[in-house]
Amino acid sequence: MTTQNDPVEALRSIGLRASPETLRALLTHATKSKLSVAAFCLELSGAEKRERDTRNHAARTKAATLGAVKALDRFDWSHPRSIDRDLFEDLHATLRFIEAGENVLLRGQAGVGKTMLAKHLGFAAIAKGHTVKYSTLPAAIADLMKRESIPAVERCLRRYAQPDLLILDELGYVPCDSDAADLLFRLVSTRHESKSVVITTNLAYKQWTTVFGDAPCLSALVDRFAQHCHVLDIDADSWRDRERLEKRGKPPKKRR
């Protein structure tokens, strides 16, 4: 059957993305139910919208590079000695911080779940139709600094500046020089008060000098990022340490 006398192929030829199986099922339903032209058009547009939404969600998820993460219901809220659960759940449920162009800082020692919580903010944002980009901070800096020309750097900066939500993981584990600090400052400044940045770190603001040294822009970087920022401090022992002890049959140390 050619496109001219096959309605499914005709619909596909004008750009409809719904699968042939979906379209044939819809045509069969319309014929058996004797749908009016208007009713059929509504059914067709609904099927097409669902297909486009599914593809759009898949594309944004792939572009976000969030990777795999444990389900949020596996986060043991009783494990940390201190954590503002209400703050995280409000950020995760409402995503108002993205609409307001506000930042989020997840702070705590290694292994307490900062990355997990940050990624779940990313997945929630994708589900609400936002664009997201995840990277470790060292990887993002390396990506920017390997560019061999100013135009190439500018293009790379734009890729990090464009998403509605940018997640930069692991600030504090790899030292950076002044050039790296300048690039991060430019990125935070570009997004300031318009698009959100989530940073995870094991350091208080005053300790960022241990990463960026005496970079001249450091004070301005912290000031811009912290101006509209929700801070979630996690005081806990490492989950990974606890899991290693449990596998060895040793009870974790009691929390004080």
Give the residue-averaged pLDDT of 100-117. 96
Q: What is the pTM of this model?
A: 0.86
Give the residue-averaged pLDDT of 25-47. 93
**What is the per-residue DSSP string for 121-176?**
HHHHHHHTT--EEEEEHHHHHHHHHT--SHHHHHHHHHHHHSSSEEEEEEETSS--
Amino acid (1-letter code) at residue 54:
T
Say what the pLDDT of residue 148 is: 86
| pLDDT(256) > 50 | no
Going by C-beta distance under 8 Å and a sequence separation of 6 or more, which residues neighbour residue 186? 157
Quote the percentage of the chain above a pLDDT of 90. 86
Please name each of the domains of the chain with its CATH number.
7-63 (no CATH), 66-247 (3.40.50.300)
List pLDDT tens digits, range 196-205. 999 999 999 9
Give the lowest-confidence range in 3-12, 16-25, 96-105, 130-139. 3-12
Query: If 0-12 CB within 10 Å is exposed, 13-18 middle and 19+ buried, where does residue 90 land?
Result: middle
Instruction: Give the CA distances from residue 68 to residues 134, 166, 221, 239, in Å, rounded to whole numbers and listed in that order.
Output: 12, 17, 30, 17
